[in-house]
A and B are shown apart, each in its own frame.
Chain A
């Protein structure tokens, strides 16, 4: 089966691990992001690991004018089309408190930008009658917390969008996997205090691949975050609003 993945936000370490994993299985990868030099290096790496094709593609969540060209590029590939979304940005909450206009960018990067792209891609996937969308949301989206509620809100919006998209694509033979990573050892979390049970990007990529194969709907990675979040979600608001976690 000729398989192609568009990977949005491919310079992130989770995306890199995922791109390598699907490359090893011989899929084609279109690596989308802003740092073209870095994407070129990753494309070379993916080719050497077995990717059928590997190309760098210019993508900026805040510049939707460029989306159509990417969709066109995808259309040129025969067979199954898939998308994995790793984009998102998390300014420190204090920075947002000081400059509320940062909310716009955070929501665009983490939610509306990729949602708009997927909305443009959906008809093509329906026409091909299959394919999978992997959307990386976050445990931060399960409940708004003092430390990062703007980012959390954006990811919650994205998760809800993915749920709806799953409802739509399933009818056409496609599938959507919502991924909620806990703490992952990436540049975003490097050196942050209070990190525990940190997963490697490779472990997350492995979990995502497994979820794609098994057509899982919503996964937490590592799995135990489902239970951690279950507890956090069920803390009564009366208590939660006074907590600092």
Chain B
């Protein structure tokens, strides 16, 4: 059948939708489908909130249009369909000495999704955002199929990069891959005793890939403690094979209660020896640590979870420290918390990155957590920061223009590309992104 009636959700499972989904397996089938009018496209639905939801409407699942169409080893440019997953590209090209220039925290993200959110990776401070490595893309707009490039159609490109799928359905893209030494990572892990040490190391790290795990339950003198991971690609060393696991059931709520999380975090921190260590890991293990555990979102139980992620300018590190202090004081955080220093690279009007520090913390869905996240979002806005649409399920429309000063430019292009508003998603409606005031 063409249409499947489905109940579906984003990765966080809190926001849900009911609607009809088509999943074409050939470009001809997709083209025929869109001849009747544009539809919001979705990939693997790894966005946490409602970016890929269209309640009471129709949507097109792109995951079966996932082929690599061509590669030029002279330029490193890969032509690929929008439904292809980043992890698949890395697995096919890593052994040949190439990697996607930017890889998000999950290899399950599709190329189309990475463009729609202009995602960043552990090398953002050097390489910039995903769409800065997009040479061109083919986009099905209300006017038909157009080729979009940063040079020839700069406004449409900037509205599409990080544009939440509102300019059209991305059919394929040409990505500039980055040469790498091989398909293993040499990773140095070091304990960071507190916030000051962490920030100092993030500021001075010279590594190509850097990311910090932070203990969002540590308070007082230990506030901001964590583990800094610095990675470089390497070759010739055989890391142990990864064992994939599944989460068979929704976990009970007490699994993420405060004492258990505190205990886990303490152990996780001390797992790294006091003097640090250097280990060799498969590429996928370093870039996509949680992909080993299929459906790990079920660990949060039926209620689902939220991720709060914000970025604040460099000079607002103390504000971010205070925010972390509030999170630690609340005892609501889960073990998943990440800190990173970002560079200025961003490709679109609504791209998330800015030069500064980004903090991401997961919370099981509870009333107190929702209140805390809303408070954090207000704080981030006050200090000139912004929140990430890929993670959000709680922001309010009035906060967005201050966070995203180029919103009106984006709106102008979106109105041109999809005048009837057929591509609107739950996120776009919730945050009134397309409604100009």
Give the interface of A toward B (CB within 8 A).
11-13, 16, 35, 37-38, 41-42, 44-45, 48-50, 186-187, 190-192
How many angstroms from the CA of A37 to the CA of B5 in the assembled complex? Answer: 29
Distance (Å) between the CB of B316 and the closest chain A CB? 44
How many angstroms from the CA of A38 to the CA of B64 in the assembled complex? Answer: 12
Chain B residues with CB under 8 Å of A50's CB are: 92
How many angstroms from the CA of A48 to the CA of B67 in the assembled complex? Answer: 10
Residue-wise interface mask of B (15-34) relative to A, using a CB-CB cutoff of 8 A (1 in contact, 0 not): 00000000111111100000
Distance (Å) between the CB of B22 and the closest chain A CB? 8
Interface Cβ pair total, 8 Å cutoff: 49
CB within 8 Å of A: which of B276-295? none
Are B3 and A41 touching (Cβ within 8 A)? no
Please choose the segment from B68-76, B100-108, B218-226, B318-326 that sits at the chain A interface, where 4 or more of its residues have CB less than 8 A away.
B68-76
Q: Is the interface of B mostly helix, strand, loop or mixed?
A: mixed
Residue from A12, A13, A41, A190 in contact with B69 in the complex, judged by beta carbons closer than 8 Å? A41
Are B71 and A11 touching (Cβ within 8 A)? no
Given contacts A13-B64, A191-B3, A191-B5, contact A45 B26 (CB under 8 A): no
Given contacts A42-B67, A44-B68, A48-B68, contact A37 B1 (CB under 8 A): no
Are A187 and B23 touching (Cβ within 8 A)? yes
How many angstroms from the CA of A100 to the CA of B256 in the assembled complex? Answer: 60
A-B contact pairs, 16 of them (CB 8 A): A11-B25, A35-B28, A38-B26, A41-B27, A41-B81, A45-B68, A45-B69, A48-B70, A50-B92, A186-B25, A187-B24, A187-B29, A190-B1, A190-B4, A191-B2, A191-B3
Are A48 and B92 touching (Cβ within 8 A)? yes
Are B68 and A187 touching (Cβ within 8 A)? no
Chain A residues with CB under 8 Å of B4's CB are: 190-191
Chain A residues with CB under 8 Å of B25's CB are: 11-13, 16, 186-187
Look across to chain B and name the residue whose beta carbon is closest to the beta carbon of A187: B25
CB within 8 Å of A: which of B68-92? 68-71, 81, 92
Chain B residues with CB under 8 Å of A12's CB are: 25
How many angstroms from the CA of A192 to the CA of B68 in the assembled complex? Answer: 29
Chain A residues with CB under 8 Å of B5's CB are: 191
Residue from B2, B27, B69 in contact with A44 in the complex, judged by beta carbons closer than 8 Å? B69
Chain A residues with CB under 8 Å of B26's CB are: 11, 35, 37-38
How many angstroms from the CA of A12 to the CA of B1 in the assembled complex? Answer: 15
Chain A residues with CB under 8 Å of B92's CB are: 48-50
How many angstroms from the CA of A48 to the CA of B71 in the assembled complex? Answer: 8
Distance (Å) between the CB of A18 and the closest chain B CB? 14
